Amino acid sequence: MKKNIICICILSLFLIMIYPMNTQAVSIDDIFTGADNFIEKGGGQSGVSTTIDDTALKNTSNFLYNTLLGISMITAVIVGMVLGIKYMYATSEDKAEIKQTLPAYIVSCVVVFGAFAIWKVLVNIIQ
């Protein structure tokens, strides 16, 4: 274990030494000039719309939301069924192990479906 730590430290020091460190002083004027050039390049092209199509963005968001929600629901149901079947056919020692995994399963379901709820609420607020 100690040899692994020493090897990792030596490798890290070696990588730090060979990594090129190009530090360059940048003024505020250079930053603003670069930002103005970036904005001009984005809006100055002919035939390119600089506005966001709301309906396309909404359709993409809804498709992504529904797809991910469906996948997560199917996964949660399958994992719940597997845990239930294991619990029904398990010995008393195995049942104790399965009971220890249930809080993690419940928390993960709450986090996943809570994230989808937050996503839907934010999309509705933004509209």
What proportion of the chain, given as a percentage, has pLDDT over 70? 87
What is the rounded CA–CA span in Å between residue 26 and residue 23? 9
Look up the pTM and report it.
Answer: 0.54
Per-chain mean pLDDT for the chain: 83
Residue 100 lies in a domain: yes
Residue 20 lies in a domain: no
Whether residue 16 has pLDDT greater than 80: no
Q: pLDDT higher for 46 or 64?
A: 64
Rounded alpha-carbon distances, angstroms, from residue 57 to 25, 54, 84, 99: 40, 5, 40, 43
Angle at CA of residue 60, ends 59 and 61, nearest 5°: 90
Residue 39 lies in a domain: no
How many domains are contained in the chain? 1
What is the rounded CA–CA span in Å between residue 94 and residue 100? 10
Residue 118 lies in a domain: yes
